[in-house]
Structure 1
Amino acid sequence: MAIIQKTREEIELMRESALVVSRTLGMLAGEVKPGVTTLYLDKLAEDYIRSQDAIPGFLGLYDFPNTLCMSPNEQVVHGIPNDKPLVEGDIISIDCGAIKNGFYGDHAYTFEVGEVSPEVKKLLEVTKQSLYVGIEQLKVGNRVGDVGYAIQKFTEDHGYGVVRELVGHGLGTTMHEDPEMPNYGKRGRGKKFVEGMVVAIEPMTNMGTRNIKQHNDGWTITTRDNQPSAHFEHDVAIVDGKPELLSTFAYIYKALGIESDEETPFRQQALVL
């Protein structure tokens, strides 16, 4: 398969799709609390996405039954929403997709439910930092292995396991385009990055080993040692040879009262909330 390069106009349409997802996650940020069920959050997300003149990107994709992938604690990704309430100290990865203007947005954040342990908080922070370490390497002339190597080295230097079987991906009019974007690799290996490409970069980091297992529902992935796992994802384009964020955590941070300038190096234009 070949990398599908997008025009500037298409990238701006994809930014709209990504920001639908960003606003959805921002709306959910204020709702993630002990006692809330993931099915309730899923319904909120579906209604909100449709209110934005968009449609849920995951619902029915490969026969997935819901709008959100909701993966608490030891679940890595692809968890199915259910009626079990969240409890104090949980973490939950919320992965969301939306289709607007014919393009996909695909974006994830791992939320704290109430107060979490310092060890879990560090896992989340390192995983999120590794996302930006990877994004730094998304520039014309570099290769897929440069992003994977950067994420892997940063994460493993902190003593965490990097999931191998699940990867980021190209993004466009379909959810999964070329190239695959592993969170591990060797520098200088893999497909070369080109102007106008758009990818979803999404480190998945385990507190214990990198080993995972798939459950009988055909979707849910958990760590094999049942240790917690974290997951963060951004949509990123290459514009003028450099990485340009299309998605943002700013809506989440606004809802949670968090101040951050982590995205500033990856924005060539100001984000207006």
Structure 2
Amino acid sequence: MTITQQDELDALKEIGRIVANTMHAMARAMEPGMTTAELDQIGRLLLERDGAIPAPEAVYDFPGATCISVNEEIAHGIPGARVLASGDLVNIDVSASKNGYFADTGATFRLGAVKPSLETLCRDGKRAMQIGIAQVASDKPLAGIGAAIGTFAEKRGYTLIRNLASHGVGRSLHEYPEEIATWPTRGDRRRITKGLVLTVEPFLSKGGLWAEDGEDDWTLYSTPRAPVVQYEHTVVATDKGAMIVTLPG
């Protein structure tokens, strides 16, 4: 969507704050021995408390309130009987709606101590998202997001998952522009309009190039198999840059 009025922005900020608070509360609640279903239930109750509707479930009939992807799972992990353990990388992706407005956020969290290389990957994954967000402003090229992230990744020897894109959001979970590359592309002449609402969510990897379906038709894995992290914010394009609406508060 494109924000044109203050009440639209206020509503978007409200749901943005809710999904951010939910994601960070889930991360704080993680502990070894907990199942992903138990972690998802915490997220569900928090969203319900704040009057929000879990978007994956409502829009796509996803079997969970949130997406929880552990280690080799890189996205759209179904909450279930999987038991979390110390050393796991856990991606928590929370999207929801309230009063007809949607926001989407995600991050990869470490449960206990992880290998130094994974600590670095997480740090750089967050940095890749920030570099992409810095390219968001009125009348800038949409392809500039992927170009900047790609330059960062290449310099540090990383790869990017190239079939999981950022997207427009606001009045629905996925809307125009539906495919926003977070990797370098050619031929995309689209420009960012003032007030455009979009996600920025690169998937940074140590060798992975593509996301492929698993047996459950939801969970995605990298090809080739390699560690992957994802960080995501919902932002609004302004003349001065990106306004992040998925901040806790």
- Is TM (by shorter chain) over 0.5? yes
* Alignment CA distance shift 1:217-1:190 (3 Å): farther
Q: Which amino acid aligns with 1:151?
A: I
1:42 and 2:40 are equivalent in the alignment:
yes
Q: For 1:51, which of 49, 52, 64 is the aligned residue?
A: 49
Residue 209, structure 1, aligned to residue 202, structure 2: no
Query: What is the rounded CA distance, in whole Å, between the counterparts of 1:204 and 1:190 in structure 2?
Result: 23
- Opposite residue 173 of structure 1, the aligned amino acid is R
Within 5 Å, give how 1:1-273 maps onto structure 2: 4-7=1-4, 8-179=6-177, 180-186=179-185, 189-248=188-247, 251=248, 273=249
CA contact (8 A) 2:166 2:199 kept: yes
> Which letter maps to 2:104?
D
- The superposition leaves residues 48-85 of structure 1 with CA deviations (integer Å, 9 ceiling, x where unpaired) of 10100111111142221111111111211111111121
Code of the residue aligned with 1:156 in structure 2: it is: E
- Aligned residue for 1:178, secondary structure, equals strand
The residue type paired with residue 225 of structure 1 is P
CA shift for structure 1 position 187: 7.7
Identity %: 32
Question: Residue by residue, what CA displacement relative to the aligned partner does 1:74-103 show, whole Å, maximum 9, x if unpaired?
Answer: 211111111121111110110011111210
Q: What is the distance in 1 between the residues matched to 2:144 and 2:82? A: 40
TM-score calculated relative to the size of structure 1: 0.86
The CA RMSD over aligned residues, in Å, is 1.5
Question: Taking structure 1 as reference, are residues 60 and 100 closer, same or farther at Cα in structure 2, changes over 3 Å only?
Answer: closer
User: In the aligned structure 2, how far is the partner of 1:236 from the partner of 1:11?
Assistant: 11
Q: Which stretches in structure 1 are left out of the alignment for 5+ residues?
A: 252-272
Contact 1:105 1:235 in 2 (8 A): yes
Q: Alpha-carbon deviation of 1:241?
A: 4.4
Q: Is the 8 A contact 2:205 2:229 kept in 1?
A: yes
Opposite residue 209 of structure 1, the aligned amino acid is: G
Structure 2, unpaired ranges of 5+: none
Query: Secondary structure of 1:147's match?
Result: helix
Residue 188 (structure 1) shift = 8.4
Task: Normalising by structure 2, report the TM-score.
Answer: 0.94
Measure the CA separation in 2 of the matches of 1:189 and 1:211. 20
